[in-house]
Amino acid sequence: MNRRRFVHGLALGSVAAAQTPSVIAQNPETAANSLATTPLTLQAPRSDGFDAVWAIRTHCLGRIEWEADDGSRGNALSDPFGFTPQGTRILHVRVTGLQPGVSYRIRSVTRSTDTQPREEVSDWKPFKTLNPGAAQTRFTVWNDTHVNNETIGKLDDVTPATDFHIWNGDTCNDWHREEDLVPTLLHPGGRDITRGRPLHVLWGNHDVRGAWAFRVPELIPTPSGRPFHAFRSGPLAAVCLHTGEDKPDNHPSFRGRVAFDRLRAEQAAWLDTILQSPAMANAPYRVVFCHIPLRWLDERPQDYAGDGFDRHSGRSRAAWHDALVRWKAQVIVSGHTHRPAWIPATAEFPYGQIVGGGPQPTSATWIEGNADARQLRFTLRKLDGQTIHEIEFPPVI
């Protein structure tokens, strides 16, 4: 940033802090001139907090306020560098210090930095922290929505409130236009998809394509700050991995923009460590979420010089297989193929593979998962309610 513009921005912030802003409760879906242009999204849920992200129209400061059912309350109003969270397009606030398994109400406060500042307060949103010690957990999964707003609306209508929700890659059709980022990720289909189901967004191969893909991390935070992470929710241990592209890194279509073999190797080393932690090693149920399947119905080599692409990520499987087998992973949950499938475990691959459907309403699916002391159950459904697969797993331990 130009130094003069930077100093001028600080001066505006100082003036705004000295003023008493006008406070207006705003719903960005209905207020055409509001500071916030999207709903408040609650992402990267954890046992001690979450990340809040929302889009804004102009340079603003932001904070998060919370209240618990027991009457306790607090706020988050600083970033790791000592600044008030601020931005010109996106506001991002990380909230920590909450208690596991507790229900909260969350709202954002957005304040303009001009000489006559306005302050907007969002509606309250429900949020419940993850509880590693809970007796049960419930979650849902979408995949390959590809900006099909009709599908997103119908998915939003049928998907229940859950402990966490996985958006399992290919949110877009490649990031060729910067202006597509906010509506696709923070206000998909004009919906507030994180109300009642805090969100984990995983990367798909289309999510890494296009000139503006490098900006995606601004809008989809993760618990770890990296595009892979692990967490515990009740009896379920979840590992979220980044399978990268569906062709080799040196494929000419990428023009040298990707280096996913390095990222796969990094994730392999990380798996060797994280899967030995007590929360992961002692979990009754063990699930991996990743966009490209690690197994597929037809694994014949592809003609990358022609139109070939990977239906399964053989490079990822080669890097991660041994660690997942040692961990006793039970199932991999993926998308990518636009064709729903269930592939049972074998002696060679002792983890099953669930794959969701495609972006059109007729092919779209959603997955519901429920885990308790007795079993882990996955139900793969179409939008009309038809059950395609129902799979059950006993506890590993």
Task: Specify the CATH number for the domain of residue 20.
Answer: 2.60.40.10
Taking the model in full, what pTM does it have?
A: 0.92
* Percent of the chain whose pLDDT exceeds 70: 92
Residues 230 and 343 in one domain: yes
The predicted pLDDT at position 255 comes to 87
Q: Is residue 8 part of a domain?
A: no
> Tens of pLDDT along 258-281?
999 999 999 999 999 999 999 999
Task: Specify the CATH number for the domain of residue 381.
Answer: 3.60.21.10
Residues 271 and 336 in one domain: yes
The predicted pLDDT at position 120 comes to 97
Q: Is residue 1 part of a domain?
A: no
The answer to whether residue 172 scores a pLDDT higher than 80 is: yes
Among 128, 147, 163, residue at a domain's last position? 128
Partnered with residue 66 across adjacent β-strands are: 74, 106
The answer to whether residue 6 scores a pLDDT higher than 70 is: no
Please enumerate in sequence order all residues whose Cβ is within 8 A of that of 122, keeping only pairs 6 or more positions apart, or say none: 25, 26, 27, 28, 36, 39, 40, 54, 107, 108, 109, 110
The predicted pLDDT at position 27 comes to 60
> Tens of pLDDT along 86-116?
999 999 999 999 999 999 999 999 999 998 8
Residues 101 and 146 in one domain: no
Q: What are 118's two structure tokens?
A: 């306005």
Query: What's the rounded Cα separation, in Å, for the pair 191 and 188?
Result: 6
CA separation (Å) from 126 to 105, 149, 255, 291? 5, 24, 44, 28
Residues 301 and 321 in one domain: yes
Q: Is residue 43 part of a domain?
A: yes
> Tens of pLDDT along 290-322?
999 999 999 999 999 999 999 999 999 999 999
Residues 237 and 150 in one domain: yes
The predicted pLDDT at position 1 comes to 40
* Helix, strand, coil in percent for the chain, rounding step 5: 20, 30, 50
The predicted pLDDT at position 14 comes to 37
* Percent of the chain whose pLDDT exceeds 90: 89
- pLDDT grade, residue 26 (50/70/90)? low
CA separation (Å) from 217 to 181, 207, 285, 330? 11, 11, 29, 29
Residues 103 and 176 in one domain: no
For residues 33-49, average pLDDT: 97
Among 128, 160, 180, residue at a domain's last position? 128
> Tens of pLDDT along 210-243?
999 999 999 999 999 999 999 999 999 999 999 9
The predicted pLDDT at position 21 comes to 62
> Tens of pLDDT along 321-340?
999 999 999 999 999 999 99
The predicted pLDDT at position 29 comes to 52
Give the residue among 377, 388, 368, 332 at the shortest CA–CA distance from 140: 368
> Tens of pLDDT along 363-379?
999 999 999 999 999 99
The predicted pLDDT at position 10 comes to 36
Residues 326 and 272 in one domain: yes
Among 128, 145, 171, residue at a domain's last position? 128
The answer to whether residue 48 scores a pLDDT higher than 70 is: yes
Residues 100 and 174 in one domain: no
Mean pLDDT over all residues of the chain?
93
Residues 246 and 375 in one domain: yes
Q: Is residue 3 part of a domain?
A: no
Q: Is residue 6 part of a domain?
A: no
- pLDDT grade, residue 397 (50/70/90)? confident
Residues 22 and 95 in one domain: yes
Report the number of distinct structural domains present in the chain: 2
Q: Is residue 4 part of a domain?
A: no
Q: Which of 12-26, 109-123, 137-151, 209-223 has the weakest average pLDDT?
A: 12-26
Residues 119 and 155 in one domain: no
The answer to whether residue 11 scores a pLDDT higher than 60 is: no
Residues 171 and 232 in one domain: yes
Please give the residue range of the domain that contains residue 78: 14-128
The answer to whether residue 19 scores a pLDDT higher than 90 is: no
Exposure string of 184-223, with b = 16+ CB inside 10 Å and e = fewer, is bbbbbbebbbbbbbbbbbbbbbbbbbbebbeebeebbbbb
> Tens of pLDDT along 347-357?
999 999 999 99
Q: Is residue 355 part of a domain?
A: yes
Q: Is residue 38 part of a domain?
A: yes
